[in-house]
Structure 1
C-alpha cells in the first residue's frame, strides 16, 4: 500500500507483521510459506500470530486516534506471556530488554515494543485511517499527526469523499 520507508528499529517487525494482511483484497501473506518464513513462523504458530497481528492493528489504530475495527485480545494481555531478559553490554554498559528466546514472534514483538517505549517512538507507529486499508506506517511528520499510510492514495480518497459530500 504505502510508499513510506520502513519503521525504525524493532518497529519494522511490528509494521511488517501488521502489513501481512491486505484488508482491501483479503490477501494474507501468512497463508504462504514465504510470508511465514519472513517472520520465522511455523504453521502451528499461525493462530497466535494472527491474534497478535490484530491486537497490534487495534493498538496502532488507537495511536492514530481511531477506534478499533473489531473485538480483539488486548495487546497487553498477549505481551504478558512474552519472556524478556534485561541484557547489559559489557563494553559500553548499555542495557536493553531482549527476548528470552529469539524464536517466538511474541517475544520478539514484546522486545520491539520495549525498545520503542524507551526510544519514545512507540506511538509513532500507526494504522491508516481508511476502513479499507488500516496499513501500518511510521509517522515521521513533525507534529506526529499523520492519518493515512499514503497521502497520494488513502489521503486523496478521503479528501475526495469529503469534497463530494459537500
Structure 2
C-alpha cells in the first residue's frame, strides 16, 4: 500500500490493545491478507489467522484459532473487500449476506467508559472471535474518523488490493499508479490501437 500520507490516527477506549492502530489502515491490512495476484493468503490456516491477529495486537501472542474462525475471517475479509469496492462510485454498497451474517455473529457491545462511545468485544481478550470483533469495530472507528469512504480496492481485477484514497477529490482507482495504473493505461492504449478505424 502506498501514498498513505495524511492517514488519521485511530480512536478507541484506551483499554483496547489495538486502540492505537489506525482503523482504516487496519481494515486495509486485513483485506490485503489475500494477495489476489499471487493467491497468497496469510489467514488461510488457524495458525496463520492467530499469528496475524496477534501481530496486530488484536489477540495476545499464543492465542489459538480453529477452522471455523478461519471461515469467519475469510467471510469478513471478502465482505469488506466488496464494501470497499463500492466506494469507487456513487452506488450503494450491496453488502453480501455472508458479511451481514458474520457481523451479526461477532461479539460486540457498546461501551461509554472512554472519551466517546465505542464498540468493544464481548469475548475474553484471548479469543480469536474477539480479535475479529475488533476488526469489525474498526469499521465504525473508520466512519468516525472520516476515512471509511476513502477505503477502496484497486480496480485492476488481478489486483484488488485495498488502499486508503488520500487524493483530494477521492478519485484514485488503483493501489499504485506506477504498477496497476500503468498496466491499465497500457492495456487501454493497446485496445484503442487495435480497434478498427
1:72 to partner: Cα distance: 4.8
Aligned length: 160
1:24 pairs with 37, 61, 73, which one? 37
Q: Deviations over 1:6-25 (max 9, x none)?
A: 96522222212211111111
Q: Deviations over 1:12-48 (max 9, x none)?
A: 2221221111111111112464564022462421111
Q: Deviations over 1:135-158 (max 9, x none)?
A: 010111111111111111111111
- 1:143 is paired with a residue whose SS is coil
Residue 53 (structure 2) aligns with: 39
Structure 2 unmatched ranges of 5 or more: 9-21, 55-63, 193-197
- Verify the 8 A CA contact 1:87 1:95 in the aligned structure 2: yes
Distance, in Å, in 2 between the alignment partners of 1:157 and 1:123 is 25
Which stretch shows the higher mean deviation, 10-19 or 120-129? 10-19
Deviation at 1:118, TM superposition (A): 2.1
2:122 to 100, 123, 126: 100
Specify the alignment match of 2:2 in structure 1. Answer: 3
Deviates more, 1:39-48 or 1:156-165: 39-48
Q: Is the 8 A contact 2:154 2:160 kept in 1?
A: yes
1:115 matched to 2:149? The reply is no
Report the TM-score, using the length of structure 2 for normalisation.
0.70
CA distance in 2, matches of 1:150, 1:107: 30
- The separation in 1 between residues aligned to 2:66 and 2:3, in whole angstroms, is 30
Structure 1 partner of 2:84: 60
Q: Which runs of 5+ in 1 are unaligned?
A: none
1:136 match: 162
